[in-house]
Chain A
């Protein structure tokens, strides 16, 4: 598989980001998801650390067995999301070496409820663990077709204003309207380039495979609303555009194009090589295309921009985030359109015990793809960050049968 040149710049930014969270203060612990509090923290010079990203790092370094076991022995039961268990395992494992040196103690906990409901409880528990201020941005979920974002935008904008006041106190700085406007602009532009990259991936051969996209998503989420984030995405976009122009694919011999639904098992990202050996590329999935609400949101009123971003619901015929909109109705339509546009000929639907929001309804979606789209579907069971119950042999056995169904 071919790596992106700009990957070096992204890795450099990631290393700098981890240096910054150790060297600069104040520090927030926050949620990655389409979260305007991160844009505002970045604006105010508050460093942001992401326990969920860190849980992925721990899982990728095969530490989930250790951390989940520690968390479970402290009553964070195995039913809970493995990000939470990795996180509390790390926190409760005092005196050990941790990947990247661990995460420094926060000065504030911030959370947005658009990610999933567990996150609110997780970050509430972190607040109580660290005894630091807590900023919660509550955003309603779309539970029915008539839940229009315009119903909620005033409420969420009001909540953001309150959050800004709290964050200003913590940083000792003020959010000026010029700065807020600039940040909203970066946020909107980052969304634009992310969408452009995903559009380019409709090309055959696909210029990017799933792991490329999973690495790149660090930029519009963790560097949200920053000039640096925008410049990295521009670089990535230009490189991907050149790949398309020159017919360069992410894998050598692309014979099948698959959709991947759900969060991948971070401890076994290398499984994409197994797909690649069989000529299968994964040009998009809900995790890279639907979760982050990178739809185009007008930024002329920055507060409103951030309110719509936080809501994550579809606006003006666009697509919101599947975590907020849940998995039904619009998602079917969207999957149907995307399966056609990306020329997809097989679907990998993962059921992931840790992520209820991305798994509830997954079986209905699998049935929809198989019956209505008439393409082979494989349903796999794998947790996102708890490696203990994963079996490579079982995974491959099911995949082999799926590859047979796909044909040559």
Chain B
């Protein structure tokens, strides 16, 4: 499929695409960490939001001056590439109170690069009540003001409504394509879906929706082709940004038929109610993002249970980045319940940015082979 091949190319050169779109559109670029920042606000201010991830496969060298080796390697790699000029296309970043490294290093970014525009979004991790909605509103209003100052454009009600519609359409398309993996064999591989979801994290949303629509149409017309006897794997983990994990699983006797990751399901699972007052609707939707730092392990288990049942999963692979404490902390509870309650085997892989995948591949092969 041409569109898919194009996306695989784009995710290898994300910086090039972003710079190109910035020039073409004249929009300023705002980098965003994690799926809990309401990007609709950024879009509605006439800006171009992109999710941050290490866009080059470069060894981390410079970041260690200010970030210890036992912080998230994904964030360290981002910071390293910021210091080396790899993110010079950014006009601002939004860092939310989220994982340990991002939360504690938000001030570090401001300290080390005082010229950068760093907007933050505090305290809205547990806002699942009326009081929390007020806090979300207050934080959104602050962010909107900073964004308006950056773009020189007001966030009007209609611009916000349009942004919500555009983002909902993106979520709807991603959900639709995600669901093509329910069948055996799935109509789309996990590796291809990874490329789609990662590309959606930085493509302009209109362009993304056009490509996703085309892919979805094509998938609707074609049945899945492949081995029906392959095992069906659910992959769960935080910021998985390397398709090699997917390739490692899918080059074994298995398909990745569902994924619960920061660039995957967590980024598009929660639809924003278009009929509600916009900020209240955003607050509701973002409260449901099943990221470990913003929700209980119990809630995450419910999400995983649904995926396991709906996608007829044979085994669950957790690919948890080293030093991602929130994920690590949830793992014992999730593993115990998935094994004991659902009777599904679980494999834990510890990953690191540019880490050696050879030993991981051996473990995946053994795991897939062991699934009855």
Contact = CB atoms under 8 A, between A and B. Distances in A.
A363 B68 contact: yes
A80 B68 contact: no
B322 interface: yes
B135 A360 contact: no
Contacts of B348: 75
Interface in A136-183: 136, 138-147, 151-152, 154-155, 158-159, 162
Given A128-B333, A152-B135, A77 B122 contact: no
A361 B108 contact: yes
A81 B70 CA distance: 12
Contact of A155 (B99, B110, B134): B134
Given A76-B332, A79-B70, A118-B325, A143 B103 contact: yes
A125 interface: yes
B140 interface: no
Interface string A28-52: 0000000000000000000000000
Given A162-B131, A360-B71, A124 B123 contact: no
A249 to B, nearest CB: 35
Q: How many A residues are at the interface, by size bracket? A: 35 or more
Interface in A362-400: 362-364
Contacts of B104: 326-327, 356-357, 360-361
A241 B126 CA distance: 44
Interface in A119-144: 120-122, 124-125, 128, 136, 138-144
Interface in B277-327: 292-293, 296-298, 322-323, 325-326
Contact of A360 (B108, B119, B129): B108
B330 interface: yes
Interface in A317-335: 325-329
Contact of B123 (A139, A359, A363): A139
Q: How many B residues are at the interface, by size bracket? A: 35 or more
A351 B138 contact: no
Contact of B333 (A125, A152, A158, A356): A125
Contacts of B126: 113, 120, 136, 138
A209 B107 CA distance: 31
A273 interface: no
A71 B112 CA distance: 37
B103 A363 contact: no
B97 interface: yes
Given A118-B100, A125-B329, A361-B104, A356 B71 contact: yes
B293 A361 contact: no
Given A140-B123, A155-B123, A328-B110, A80 B329 contact: yes
Interface string B48-91: 00000000000000000111101100000000000000000000
A133 to B, nearest CB: 13
A124 B297 contact: yes
B107 A121 contact: no
Nearest to B100: A356
Nearest to B106: A143
A208 interface: no
Instruction: Pick the most buried of A121, A139, A162, A357: most chain B CB atoms within 10 A of its CB.
Output: A121
A359 B68 CA distance: 8
Given A144-B110, A328-B107, A162 B129 contact: yes
A127 to B, nearest CB: 8
Interface string B107-119: 1101110000011
Interface of A: 74-77, 79-81, 84, 113, 116-118, 120-122, 124-125, 128, 136, 138-147, 151-152, 154-155, 158-159, 162, 325-329, 351, 353, 356-357, 359-364
Report the 6 A-B pairs with minimum CB-CB distance, sorted nearest first: A140-B123, A121-B329, A143-B120, A328-B107, A140-B122, A158-B131
